[in-house]
Structure 1
Amino acid sequence: MTVDATRSPWGSLSLLPWSKGHGTGNDFVLVADPDDTYRIDAEATARICDRHQGIGADGLIRAVRSQHVPEGGPLLRTTPEAEWFMDYRNSDGTAVEMCGNGVRVFVHFLIDQGLVELAEGGEIIIGTRGGPRAVKRQQDGYVVDMGPWDLIFPDTAAGQGTDSLVEAGGMAVARPALSISMGNPHTVLALAHADELRGLDLHRQPQVDPVPPAGTNVEFVLPSEPLVTDGTGVITMRVHERGVGETQSCGTGACAAAAAIRYWAGRGAPDDWAVQVPGGVVSVTFFDADDGVEHVLLGGPAELVATGVLS
């Protein structure tokens, strides 16, 4: 395990200040590292995120200025206002393109640490491996422009409405599903009954065929009956995240789930969705952006619950 802090103001490898935060139960260890002082490798990340022998979290987020990370140079050339980069890794240490709950908690952390000032109604651009993301502060949380969504296997999806089969614990047979990109990959399947959703065993990774090239998160979605209430679509979701396992929430997964159900519902499906996850409720809204492409907004809370120093 390597935590390289030789340039640290603390002058010790054993002093690593951290905070713990979550967005609808999707939890993260956060480290402020503006000048790229700490270099936390995959093994260290996994140990820190271990729920029995570490702090415990779905992932680790390092707050670093974009100029200090390899992905930051190209990002700053096109989006110079993206000063801060969300260096996010899953609990197994793998780097991840984007995390919708994580970016809300990340901005809340930047404010808490005094690294940025953001009044209610204000907006900030954050750098991620999935590209820049605009985050607006609201009274009850944050709203993120998650960018466009897309079909991962468009030719197959266009022909039959699904593009893959998913096997999972608790399901007697494989189910058809739809793979959607939110900057990171997702595979969504719909269930018919609440008992099916409750009966899933997500301790082991679901099997997807064909699996997207970078692997995939898998969302199991129960549409409400009726699907639309007062103009808002309502769905309930459980998710298995690659490199983590089942989590209380997944922001990009909620967007992908709403996109899939909306795709299947066809013309007349609403733009506004409420997605119920084990950790709470997030909002998903589809809109036509200035670039002429349909984007997705994700809204929800962000909380910090603890701070400490790792030894």
Structure 2
Amino acid sequence: MTTTLQFTKGQGTGNDFVLFTDPDAGTDLTPAMIRALADRRFGGGGAGGLPAGRTAALPTAADLREAEPRAEWFMDYHNADGSPAEMCGNGIRVFARYLLERGLVQLGEDDVLVVGTRAGAREVRRDGTGFRVDLGPWRLGDDDPVVRARELHAARPGLPISVGNPHVVVALAGDDELDGLDLTYVPIIDPAPVGGANVEFVVPADPLVVDGLGRIRMRVHERGSGETLSCGTGAAAAALATRYWAGASAPEGWLVEVPGGGVGVSISHHDDGEHVSLSGPAELVFTGALAL
């Protein structure tokens, strides 16, 4: 039976998503449906799908709802290939914009919107013309992987970092190396992480710090989606990796330039450790309907 799905296309620094409301989790969402929605020629087009369901309606989110009753809505993010993902930093900002503009939530200048994800509850606030999300504590991985990429003429060491989802960050020598990468091919991580990882390639600015703010450029290959114009959690991981490499004098605020624009990353200190936050724009582009 054919289902017609009403959807909205949204983007944050060019990282684009197909969103739709499914409050009672009644849609039989299959990987094939996500692939059809995200298809750039026959669907809405995007790096992934963002169904908006109520946390209480999702049996798999029962523990989260009990732990964080403020998380009324759950961002059930899927990559463009239909696979589920733990978190999406640009996506959660677009998700917040979508909930607001559909009248599903209210968010004043000083309010907090708590959104459920597979990585746990995340707090979103207004931030200028966009939104800021606290991605929670970050963690440095234990492995010492090397990464090979097309047009990168030698394998490079990578730094594994988790910000709710897995990343491997690679430092490059300069803009020529970064611009010359062919990320239509999947970078090879050795040893390969269980479940895969996003791979970020980073070049520090020169000078690295201006007016107390660190600056880097980044390109990313996202597992399940390929190269995207931006990756929010990837930008956070890239800033954290550069800060780690730079040492104790490195700043806690960063500007990350991606092909789709720029996002801000900041580190703050909490009882459960260092948290990393991501800020940037989020826009809804158009609405449509698709027969699935």
TM-score, normalised via structure 2 length:
0.97
- Which structure 2 residue ranges, 5 or more long, are not aligned? none
Question: For the residues of structure 1 that align with 2:127 and 2:218, how far apart are their CA atoms?
Answer: 24
Q: Which amino acid is the alignment partner of residue 59 of structure 1?
A: G
Q: In the alignment, which of 162, 173, 193 is matched to residue 192 of structure 1? A: 173
Shift, 1:191, TM fit: 0.8
2-side partners of 1:15 and 1:120: how far apart?
36
Task: Give me the whole-angstrom Cα distance separating, in 2, the residues matched to 1:292 and 1:51.
Answer: 41
- The residue aligned with 1:307 is 287
Q: CA deviation at 1:308?
A: 1.1
Cross-structure match for 2:272: 292
Instruction: Measure the CA separation in 2 of the matches of 1:113 and 1:37.
Output: 19
Cα deviation, residue 69, structure 1? 1.6
2:117 to 110, 128, 144: 128
Q: Determine the C-alpha separation between the residues in 1 that align with 2:219 and 2:59.
A: 34
Partner of 1:40: helix, strand, or coil?
Answer: coil
Does the aligned pair in 1 maintain the 2:20–2:52 contact within 8 Å?
yes
* Residue number in structure 2 paired with 1:261: 242
Q: Which residue of 2 aligns with 1:7?
A: none
SS at match of 2:17: strand
Q: CA deviation at 1:13?
A: 4.0
CA RMSD of aligned residues (A): 1.1
| In structure 2, C-alpha distance between the alignment counterparts of 1:103 and 1:231, rounded to whole Å | 27
Pairing 1:1-311 to 2, within 5 Å after superposition: 13-153=2-142, 163-289=144-270, 291-311=271-291
Contact 1:168–1:205 (CA under 8 A) maintained in structure 2: yes
CA deviation map 1:220-254 (0-9, x unaligned)? 00100111010000000000000110000000000
**Aligned residues of 2:127 and 2:279 also touching (Cα < 8 A):** no
- Separation in 2 of the partners of 1:118 and 1:233? 30
Letter in 2 for 1:36: A
Contact 2:137–2:272, Cα closer than 8 Å, also in 1: no
Amino acid paired to 1:257: A
In the alignment, structure 1 segments of 5+ residues that lack a partner are 1-11, 157-162
Opposite residue 106 of structure 2, the aligned amino acid is E
Structure-1 separation of matches of 2:155 and 2:249: 29
Instruction: Give secondary structure in 1 for the equivalent of 2:100.
Output: helix
Give the drift of 1:192.
1.2
Residue 309 of structure 1 and its aligned partner are, at CA, apart by: 1.3
- Could you state the TM-score of these two structures normalised by the residue count of structure 1? 0.92
Q: Distance in 1 between matches of 2:64 and 2:280?
A: 26
* Conservation of the 8 A alpha-carbon contact between 2:43 and 2:290: no
Rounded to whole Å, the distance in 2 between the matches of 1:133 and 1:48 is 25
Deviations along 1:83-136, one digit per CA (max 9) or x if unpaired, are: 100000000000000000000000100011111111223211000001000000
Amino acid at match of 1:253: G
Q: Distance in 2 between matches of 1:297 and 1:201?
A: 29
Q: Which amino acid aligns with 2:248?
A: R
2:96 and 2:44 map into 1 onto residues whose CA distance is 21
Counterpart of 2:227 in structure 1: which amino acid? Answer: E
Return the offset for 1:210: 1.4
Name the CA distance, whole Å, in 2 between partners of 1:137 and 1:263.
Answer: 28
**Greater RCO (Cα-Cα under 8 Å, separation 6 or more):** 2
SS at match of 2:35: helix
Aligned sequence identity (%)? 53
> For 1:141 and 1:25, how far apart are their aligned partners in 2?
14
Counterpart amino acid of residue 218 in structure 1: V
CA contact (8 A) 1:120 1:139 kept: no
How many residue pairs match? The answer is 291
Q: Give secondary structure in 2 for the equivalent of 1:54.
A: coil
- Following superposition, the deviation at residue 37 of structure 1 comes to 2.3
Residue pair 1:121, 1:138 contacting (<8 A) in 2 also: no
The answer on whether the counterparts of 1:152 and 1:212 sit within 8 Å (CA) in structure 2 is no
**Deviation at residue 15 of structure 1 after TM alignment:** 2.1
Detail structure 1 runs of 4+ shifted over 6 Å in the superposition.
none
- Equivalent-residue separation in structure 2 for 1:71 and 1:226 (angstroms): 47
